Amino acid sequence: MKIIGYLAVAGLMLAAQSGWTAEGKTVFNQGCAGCHKTMAPKLGDKKDWDQVSKKGTDALVASVMKGKGSMPPKGGVSSASQADIKAAVEYMASQAK
């Protein structure tokens, strides 16, 4: 039983050190979806995402972190980390068809 306890603690420590983040889809659903289901760049819209993706992931993440136009900082998910925002951006880009 002690070994299981040690393994559990070790696992939690590794997760904390690795910067455990919410899944991109979860972050998207918490904030981004409110606009990006109907507004550009729309989730799943290849034409929109082909244009946006040219900027690169780092530039997109920086833009979301600061907010742009009517989009609030962090897409309205104030508790999101930069890694969470990156996961959301990558999720959205991966859905372009």
Is the domain covering 22-94 a CATH 2.60.40.1840 domain? no
pLDDT in tens, 6-54: 334 334 344 344 444 569 999 999 999 999 999 999 999 999 999 999 9
Residues 87, 24: Cα–Cα separation, whole Å: 4
Q: Is 26 helix (H, G, I), strand (E, B) or coil?
A: helix
The two three-digit tokens of residue 62, written as one number = 């920086």
Backbone phi, then psi, for 60, in 5-degree steps? -65, -45
Tell me the C-alpha distance between 75 and 5, whole Å.
38
Domain borders along the chain are 22-94
Is the whole-model pTM more than 0.85? no
Instruction: Please check whether residue 80 is in contact with residue 22, taking contact to mean a CB–CB distance below 8 angstroms.
Output: yes
d(CA 52, CA 58): 12
Tell me the pLDDT tens digit for each residue of 49-83.
999 999 999 999 999 999 999 999 999 999 999 99
